[in-house]
Amino acid sequence: MDFTSPLVKDFQLAVNDRFNVMIPIDQIIINETRKEFEGDFTIVLFPFVKLFGKPIEEIGQILGQKLVDDQHFVQGFNVVKGFLNITLSDSFWLDVMDELTENPVIEKSKLKKGKVLVEFASPNTNKPLHLGHIRNILLGWSMSKIYEANGYDVIKTQVINDRGIAICKSMYAWKSWGNGATPESLQVKGDHFVGDFYVLFEKKFQEEYKLWQQSNDAQKLFSQNGQFKDQEEFFKGYKNQYFNEKSKIGNDARKMLLDWEANDESTRQLWMKMNQWVYDGFDTTYHDLGVSFDTTYYESDTYLLGKKAVKTGLDSGVFFKEPDGSVWIDLTDAGMDKKIMLRSDGTSVYITQDIGTAQQRYEDFQVSKMIYTVGDEQDYHFKVLFEVLKRLQEPFADGLYHLSYGMVELPTGKMKSREGTVVDADDIISEVIQEAALLTAERGEISHLSETEKAEIIRKIGLAALKFFIIKVAPKKKMIFDPKDSVDLQGQTGPYIQNAYVRIQSLLRKAAEQNINLNQRNDQNLITFNAYERSLLKQVMQFSDIVRNAAETYDPSIIANFSYQLAKDFHRFYHEVRILNAENADVKVSRLKISKVVGDVLKAAFDLLGIEMPDRM
RNA sequence: GGUCCCGUAGCUCAGCUGGAUAGAGCAACAGAUUUCUAAUCUGUGGGUCUCAGGUUCGAAUCCUGACGGGAUCACCA
C-alpha cells in the first residue's frame, strides 16, 4: 500500500498553485521526519530555492499553509531551515490503521511475475556442513521466500558435489580401516561419519608422507631443488606431486576414482552407500534449519553436461580451438582473461559443467531468473560464466544473478580445517538451543507447559538467535561470528524480536477473553494518535516497499534490520502506553489493532528470513 | 602486478539511489517492575565515518587518488 504518494501529489499541486511550476514527482524528496523534530513526514525544499527566487523559509510557510488549507490529510506543519515538516491528521492515521488491519501485510501481486530458480547450500559430500554453509543456506532460503512474496514462482535447488577424489579418499579409508562400521553401528550422524573417514585418510596420508620424507629418494629430491632453504618448505610444496606420483594410498584412491569413472560395479556401490549416509546427515541438518529443496542436482549427473554447448560455441565462433585440441574463449575485450572451456584431452572443466547445468535447468523449468548463492571467492568465476552464457545467446542469460556473500570468520581469524577451528553446523545449532533452554528455565515464564511444547519454543528461540545473528549482516560483507555473541538473547537479536511478538500475542489473548472485536471500523469517534502509534503505523505501512527492495537488491538483511527497528519501537510503545487499560474503549481497540498489525508484520518478516515465531516464551 | 570487494564508537553491525546535531546492540556505569511477559524500558560516557583532493546549497553516502584488510587471476572445483 502506498500512503505517501497522495501527499507528494498534493505537494506538487500546491507548488503549481502557488508558484505556477509543475515539479516532476520524482524530484520531490520525502522522508520520515527525524525523531527530534515535530511532524510525520518531511519534504526537502532546497532543490526549489533557485526555482522560486524567495527565501527558503518563506517558501516552506507558503506551501505548508496551502497543504493545511487543502484539508486533505495535513493537520499542521513547521519549517526548519530547508525542511518542511508535515503533521498528518488523525483521520488520515485512522484510515491507515484500518486499511492495514483489513488487508494482508504483504500484498501478493496477483499477476505472476515469472519463475525464478534459487540455488543454495550446494555442499561437498566429504565434509559435514559448517558455519559458512549456514550463512549460504539462510541467504538462499530467505531469497526464495522473498521472491515468492514478490509474486514469483520459486524453485529451490542445490547441486551436490558428490564425485571426485575427495569422496574416493573417504571410500578408501572406510574400506581400509572402517571394519564395516556404519553410522548406525557407531551412532554417528552420516555426514560426520563419512567426514571422519576423510580426515582419517588425510591423517594416514600425512603419516605416510612424513615417513617417506626420511627416505633416500626424498632426500635426493630435496637436495636437487637447491632453491629451497629448508626441508619443511620444500615438502609442503611437493605434497600434491607426492600424492599423485609416489603415494601408495594416494595411488589407491586415484585408482578408485578411475574405477568410478569406468563404472566399476563395486566402486559405484560403495560410492552410493557412503553418499547416502552423507545425504541422510545433510537432511537432518536441513531439517533442523527448517529448509528444504524442490529439486537437487548431482554433479555425477551434470559433470558431463556442457560439451554440446562447447560445440555450439565453436560453430558460432564464440569459442576457438588451440592446436592441442583445447577449447577457449577470449574475454579480454570485456576486461576478463582467456578462459578454457574444454581440456586438450576433451574433458570438461568446472565452467563447462556450469554452462551445461544452467542449460539443463532452463530446459527443466523454463525459469526467467536464476540466482546462485555462492561465496564471493567465486565472483570472477560467475562473471565469466554469465558473460559466456550471454555470448552463447542463451534465452535466460539476462536473468542470472550471483548472490555473493562474504566469508564467515571467527574472532580469532579464518576458520581452518587443518587447525580444527571450523565451526560445525550441527554443533552450533545444538549449542544455541541449549543456551536458550538454560535461560528459558531461569525465566520460568513457560514452565507450566508440557515438555514437548517447551522444547518446541526453546528450539524456536535458539534458532532465532543463531539465524538472526547471521542474516542481519549485509550479504556482501564478510562477517565475524563470535559464538559467544550468537547465543545472546538480548538486545539486537532474534529473541528480542520474538519477544515483541510474544507480548502482542499475550495482549491479543487477553483481548479475546474480553470479547473485544478488532474487525470493526471506528467511524464515529476520532482518536488522537500519539507519536508511538504514528511511528509504528509508519513502519508497518512501509513493509511492502521493504520486501520489494529486498528482492531488488538481493538483500535479506534489510528485512532483518527493519524487523528489529519495528520490534524496538513496539517495546517502547508497550512500555510507555497502556493498551488493555487505555483511557477509553476506542483507544483500547485502536492500540490493539496497531499491536496486532505490528505482530503480523513481524511474523511475516521473520517468515521471510526463515525464522519461526513462538506464541509464548 | 591486473581486477573485484571491504574500511563508520573498545567490539559486532546499521545508515551508502546525497539532506537536519552520524545511529543501534554488546561491553561499563546509574536507574525503572503494587500495572498488559523485565528476553523489556530510561539515562551517562564513548566518533578525525581510514586519509587527501574534487563535485554540490549540502558528502559517511557520488568521483579521483593514496593507505590498510580480503578475494581472485589453473587444462582445480
- Residues A558-592: tens digit of each pLDDT: 999 999 999 999 999 999 999 999 989 999 999 99
Letter string b/e over residues A339-363, b meaning 16 or more CB atoms within 10 A of that residue's CB: bbbbeeeeebbebbbbbbbbbebbe
The pLDDT value given to residue A606: 98
Task: Indicate if the alpha-carbon torsion angle A562, A568, A569, A573 is positive or negative.
Answer: positive
Coil vs helix vs strand at A612: coil
A6 touches strand B (CB under 7 A): no
Which of the four pLDDT bands, split at 50, 70 and 90, describes residue A3? confident
As beta bridge partners, residue A409 has A414, A480
Coil vs helix vs strand at A35: coil
Domain with CATH 3.30.1360.70 in chain A: 5-88
Distance from chain centroid for Cα A268: 36
Distance from chain centroid for Cα A253: 37
Burial (CB < 10 A; 0-12, 13-18, 19+), residue A413, is exposed
CA of A492 to C1' of B25 (A): 5
CA of A480 to C1' of B13 (A): 10
Strands in A397-517 per DSSP E: 400-405, 408-410, 413-414, 479-480
A561 touches strand B (CB under 7 A): yes
The pLDDT value given to residue A511: 96
Round to whole Å and give the CA distance between A237 and A127.
24
CA of A26 to C1' of B60 (A): 25
As beta bridge partners, residue A400 has A370
A617 touches strand B (CB under 7 A): yes
Q: And the C-alpha cell for A360?
A: 539443463
- The fold of the A5-88 domain, in CATH, is Gyrase A; domain 2 (3.30.1360)
Of A residues 480-499, those with CB within 7 angstroms of nucleic strand B are: 480, 482, 485, 488-493, 495-496, 499
Angle at A610 between CA A608 and CA A615, to 5 degrees: 95
Of A residues 101-160, those with CB within 7 angstroms of nucleic strand B are: none
Which of the four pLDDT bands, split at 50, 70 and 90, describes residue A236? confident
Residue range A425-608 in CATH 1.10.730.10: yes
- Segment A382-387 shows an average pLDDT of 96
- Taking 80 as the threshold, does the pLDDT of residue A544 lie above it? yes
- Segment A213-229 shows an average pLDDT of 79
Q: Which nucleotide is nearest to A507 (CA to C1')?
A: B36
- Taking 70 as the threshold, does the pLDDT of residue A393 lie above it? yes
A571 touches strand B (CB under 7 A): yes
A406 touches strand B (CB under 7 A): yes
Is residue A328 within a helix (H) or strand (E), and if so which, with residue range?
Answer: strand A327-330
Q: Which of A539, A570, A545, A528 is nearest to A92 (CA)?
A: A528
Q: How far is CA A109 from CA A113, A152, A204, in A?
A: 8, 9, 58
Task: Indicate if the alpha-carbon torsion angle A209, A210, A215, A220 is positive or negative.
Answer: positive
Higher pLDDT pick, A505 / A245: A505
The pLDDT value given to residue A241: 84
- Segment A64-87 shows an average pLDDT of 93
A412 touches strand B (CB under 7 A): no
Nearest protein residue to nucleotide B71 (CA to C1' distance) is: A377
Higher pLDDT pick, A108 / A163: A163
Of A residues 11-50, those with CB within 7 angstroms of nucleic strand B are: 29, 31, 33-34, 36-37, 39, 42, 44, 46-47
Mean pLDDT over each residue of chain A, to the nearest integer: 93
CA of A617 to C1' of B76 (A): 49
Nucleotides of chain B in contact with protein CB (under 7 A) are: 2-7, 11-15, 17, 19-21, 24-27, 35-42, 57-58, 70-77
Do residues A162 and A275 make contact, with C-beta atoms less than 8 angstroms apart?
Answer: yes
CA of A46 to C1' of B58 (A): 9
Domain with CATH 1.10.730.10 in chain A: 425-608
Q: Are strands A83-88 and A74-80 parallel, antiparallel or unpaired?
A: antiparallel
Q: And the C-alpha cell for A243?
A: 600424492
The pLDDT value given to residue A50: 79
Task: Indicate if the alpha-carbon torsion angle A185, A200, A481, A119 is positive or negative.
Answer: negative
Round to whole Å and give the CA distance between A608 and A546.
11
- Segment A319-338 shows an average pLDDT of 92
A378 touches strand B (CB under 7 A): yes
Which of the four pLDDT bands, split at 50, 70 and 90, describes residue A97? very high
A508 touches strand B (CB under 7 A): no
At A496-524, the pLDDT tens digits run 999 999 999 999 999 999 999 998 887 77
- Segment A245-265 shows an average pLDDT of 92
Round to whole Å and give the CA distance between A603 and A564.
12
- Taking 70 as the threshold, does the pLDDT of residue A250 lie above it? yes
- The torsion of the CA quartet A537, A539, A544, A545, rounded to 10 degrees, works out to 130
Only one residue has cell 615417513, namely A211
**Would you say the ipTM is above 0.90?**
yes
- Taking 90 as the threshold, does the pLDDT of residue A323 lie above it? yes
Coil vs helix vs strand at A1: coil
- Segment A77-102 shows an average pLDDT of 92
Which of the four pLDDT bands, split at 50, 70 and 90, describes residue A614? very high
Q: And the C-alpha cell for A291?
A: 529448509
Which of the four pLDDT bands, split at 50, 70 and 90, describes residue A379? very high
> Which segment, A22-36, A63-77, A101-115, A285-299, is predicted with the most confidence on average?
A285-299
- Taking 70 as the threshold, does the pLDDT of residue A611 lie above it? yes
